[in-house]
Structure 1
Amino acid sequence: MRVRKISSLHRDLVDIIGKISVITNIKKIEHFIVFGTDEIDCFLGGLHKVVIKGIRDGAKVKINVLIKWHSNPKDRVYFRSAYQRECVFFRYIVPSMIELQNTYKIIEGLKMKFPNCILAKMEDGEETIVIYLDNEFKLLSRFFKLDFSHSSIVLKNLAKLHGLSFVLQKTSPDVFENIRNLCGKDIQYAAPENIPESLVYYFKESLKVVSNSEFKAKLEEISPHILEILSKSTAPVRNYSTICHADCWTNNILFKHQGKRPVEALFVDYQLVRYASPVTDISYFLYTCMDQEILCNNYDRLLNIYYGTLSAVLRQCNLDVKHIYPKEVFQKHLKEYSVLGLIEALISMKIITADTEEALKMTEMKYHSSEPPAITGCKTKNQAIYVERINGVVNDFFNRGYSIDALLSK
């Protein structure tokens, strides 16, 4: 673990740390920033874990914070919309949802926990997000094989987030209308012409390792249309959309354990929050984070946990899931919108399963190059894992009879 003292940091980052110390009322501060930690496996840069020590109310204190901030002005411009979306989340969505939980006295097991945000700035040139890092919550390795206990906690938390969104829409329509206007347009995929063409190359690269010839042929048929499908699958669905995390995968989920047993989960990185079908979150998590064994043995059970938790949250707020998100609508969404998770997995799995250095290079090409020739035909160090995961996702999707092209006609 490499530690760098404050004196060697960018001057603007020093100023941000100074603002944090004022907000948290810590005097006589010492700062250390940690690079390359196990807790932060970030592919897009701009993350800084900072340890702040000092005096507060006469006592020694130490806090860990995560600062999202890019030193390069070009990067700040490139990621501006993502910073703005996360600011919307912490400024408007979180306070509204916490108020709902307090108003309806939602029981502890059904409460959604949110990161404690210290600072959220979205003004041009000053894009910054700062959150506390709770030492009780830890990030798992990308290569950790998610079991049923971890996955079920994630599905419960998605249900809580979606449930509170439904409640907010019903009980505070004016407040929600403002939120919907701020995050109804998907950052990544709203405009197909602005989606990086390199995503198609990653999709086609994954098709090369699909072993089932029938499934492979179907995927090849839609390959010219995947950008359109991504755009349509992330657009709002009349009457049945919720606030979605939109990037719910292992790197953005912290777990709290008692012994080896997970007892709580905390979602972080809300920079892609959108208003869309809840299934976009569910399918994204299941297909980017789980292998075929877990999917095959636990998929239906996990969906039942999700829907049961959603029902319970709504019931706590005097709403009936049968009226808000009927089971038949949920099942229809699963059939039509799970394609989002499938395509995202095919695009990103090579990066997800790669070693960190390989993943960094591929992510750079994915977002900043029109064509990533370096991955064409390239085998990673973890090729066997990559091939296994791709085929697990593809087999599960098609064996469930889900549609890859239903959204194209909408």
Structure 2
Amino acid sequence: MATVAVEQNHQVNRITEEDIKIILASYNRTNEEMIIESYSVHSASEKMLGFLAEYWKVKVLLSDRKVLYFFIKAISRSNAAKANMVKEMRLFEKESFFYTVIKENIENIVPGLKPWAPRLITALNDAIVFEDLNATQYKLRNKFERFDMAHTLEALKTLARLHASSIVYEEKKSKQTMGEYKGLNYEFEKSLDKGGYHISSEWFCQCMTGALEAIKFLSKYDDTEINLIESRWRDVWSTALTLSDFSPQRRNVICHRDLWNNNLMFHYSEDEEKRLEPDDCLLVDFQAVRYQQPAGDVMLLLCCNLDPKFREKNIEMFLEFYYEELGKILNNYNVEIYEILSKEEFLASAEEQRLWGLVVCACLIPQFWLGDDQTTEIFSDNAQFDEILSKNKGQFIKKMMENSSNYKQKVMEIFEEIVDRYCMPAK
């Protein structure tokens, strides 16, 4: 590989010429000669794609006129509060290990499964490099447009592939070791930790107390009901956390656990009437990955991305669809789903895991149900980011609700669903 002829990198000290060479060396699995004509680096978007990292795009022009595109996720250098949170929770380290070790190990033993995530190219210092999904026509949906039937089914198919991959991996490893293999959690327990989802986490506590503050001041409940809610609130949220732990009674899988809109990308094709319909979905951002019941991911996906009324109207069908899809994939690898997880067990698990899905949605929706300009302005500022996510999230939520009836409606409907299902007496 020859040296760069022309450099067009305007992000000083972010991605260097040496980094470009490392990226191409990792990308070039056939060891063909690659001569770089030029390269450029720019921000992946004018809006914020996520809350804890910086995102960059790299375009490399080779001497044979071939153009390569890469996507980079990096620890923030412009926002110390973001960088500190990522480092304290070990999110970057966790995601990098997941891609370079756990995912690679699974793919080596489970060949031929349709991808459920982008291809990792390489890991740099404080940055991870992926294939650029936009270059292969994958797109994010508008976060204010809840998933319809077609998008939900494509997302569930992809989730089934992710979960099936770890089941098949464990079944094959168990056969190879004559039943001695103890599972992915035992093999990689240190890298499949709770992340920010534990009761002593400042971030989680702010999510919990911030939601309660909003309910106390801006919800439909009277004083007696508020006292009851307040007395039960911490126990409800603590119970949600226990649902994300390893279950000794039911089958566990590698779960994504961060399935809000910007972490699912869709590919589209035209139907007979020339309308674009989703025909594939890939998951990105595995910084919250953990080993738990698959229904936890399913319910999180449905709670975070569907209108609640649409979700409840179709939830039985969605659960049936996911379970059947998981069974089909396992059957392709000679694994019988009923020996892994019966339908009755899965449906019971899904009802239990609804609380996990709602609580995670309650943690995330106050940040993502904001306009792009507003999100960028608020969360790009170091002081505001730290204040909102680590010190006083309740004040932020109340302010946003007072300024926007739409924000109040969408956020409060999740808060109130938690209250009505888990804090109030059964009717």
1:290 and 2:306 correspond:
yes
Aligned-partner residue type, residue 95 of structure 2: E
Shift of 1:163: 1.6
Q: Which residue of 2 aligns with 1:370?
A: 391
Contact 1:237/1:276 (CA < 8 Å) preserved in 2? yes
1:129 and 2:128 correspond:
yes
Q: For residues 268 and 38 of structure 1, what CA distance do their matches in structure 2 show?
A: 19
Contact 1:54/1:62 (CA < 8 Å) preserved in 2? yes
1:379 corresponds to which of 400, 408, 412: 400
Shift of 1:292: 2.5
How has the CA–CA distance of structure 1 residues 128 and 291 changed in structure 2, closer, same or farther, with 3 Å as cutoff? same
Contact 1:209/1:390 (CA < 8 Å) preserved in 2? no
Aligned-partner residue type, residue 377 of structure 1: K
**What TM-score results when the alignment is normalised by the length of structure 1?**
0.82
Shift of 1:331: 2.1
Q: Which residue of 2 aligns with 1:151?
A: 152
Q: For residues 343 and 37 of structure 2, what CA distance do their matches in structure 1 show?
A: 54
Aligned-partner residue type, residue 117 of structure 2: F
Contact 1:39/1:138 (CA < 8 Å) preserved in 2? no
1:185 and 2:193 correspond:
yes
Q: For residues 14 and 415 of structure 2, what CA distance do their matches in structure 1 show?
A: 46
Shift of 1:212: 7.0
**What TM-score results when the alignment is normalised by the length of structure 2?**
0.79
Aligned-partner residue type, residue 116 of structure 1: R
How has the CA–CA distance of structure 1 residues 50 and 63 changed in structure 2, closer, same or farther, with 3 Å as cutoff? same
Q: Which residue of 2 aligns with 1:322?
A: 338
The answer for unaligned runs of 5 or more in structure 1 is 406-410
1:193 is paired with a residue of what secondary structure?
coil
Q: For residues 240 and 388 of structure 2, what CA distance do their matches in structure 1 show?
A: 16
2:366 is paired with a residue of what secondary structure?
helix
**What is the percentage of aligned positions where both structures have the same residue?**
19
Q: For residues 387 and 303 of structure 2, what CA distance do their matches in structure 1 show?
A: 19
Shift of 1:129: 0.7
Shift of 1:44: 2.2
Q: Spell out, residue by residue over 1:73-101, the C-alpha distance to the aligned partner (whole angstroms, 9 max, x if none).
A: 95555424212221222122322333344
Q: Which residue of 2 aligns with 1:252?
A: 263
Aligned pairs for 1:27-42 (under 5 A) are: 27-35=35-43, 37=45, 41-42=49-50
Shift of 1:219: 4.9
1:85 corresponds to which of 87, 91, 94: 94
Q: Is 291-300 or 170-179 further displaced after alignment?
A: 170-179
2:212 corresponds to which of 204, 226, 246: 204
Q: For residues 221 and 359 of structure 1, what CA distance do their matches in structure 2 show?
A: 33
Shift of 1:318: 1.8
1:343 and 2:368 correspond:
no
Q: For residues 318 and 49 of structure 2, what CA distance do their matches in structure 1 show?
A: 27
Q: Which residue of 2 aligns with 1:408?
A: none
Q: For residues 66 and 275 of structure 1, what CA distance do their matches in structure 2 show?
A: 27
Larger Rg: 2
Shift of 1:231: 3.1
Contact 1:10/1:71 (CA < 8 Å) preserved in 2? no
How has the CA–CA distance of structure 1 residues 369 and 351 changed in structure 2, closer, same or farther, with 3 Å as cutoff? same
Aligned-partner residue type, residue 201 of structure 1: T
Q: For residues 27 and 215 of structure 1, what CA distance do their matches in structure 2 show?
A: 69
How has the CA–CA distance of structure 1 residues 404 and 94 changed in structure 2, closer, same or farther, with 3 Å as cutoff? farther
Aligned-partner residue type, residue 123 of structure 2: A
Q: Spell out, residue by residue over 1:83-132, the C-alpha distance to the aligned partner (whole angstroms, 9 max, x if none).
A: 22212221223223333443xx66xxxx34331111125xxxx2321001
Contact 2:214/2:397 (CA < 8 Å) preserved in 1? no
Q: For residues 116 and 394 of structure 2, what CA distance do their matches in structure 1 show?
A: 42
Aligned-partner residue type, residue 54 of structure 1: L
Q: For residues 9 and 168 of structure 2, what CA distance do their matches in structure 1 show?
A: 48
Q: Spell out, residue by residue over 1:245-299, the C-alpha distance to the aligned partner (whole angstroms, 9 max, x if none).
A: 1111210111000031000001111111111121221122111111124213322
Contact 1:210/1:387 (CA < 8 Å) preserved in 2? no
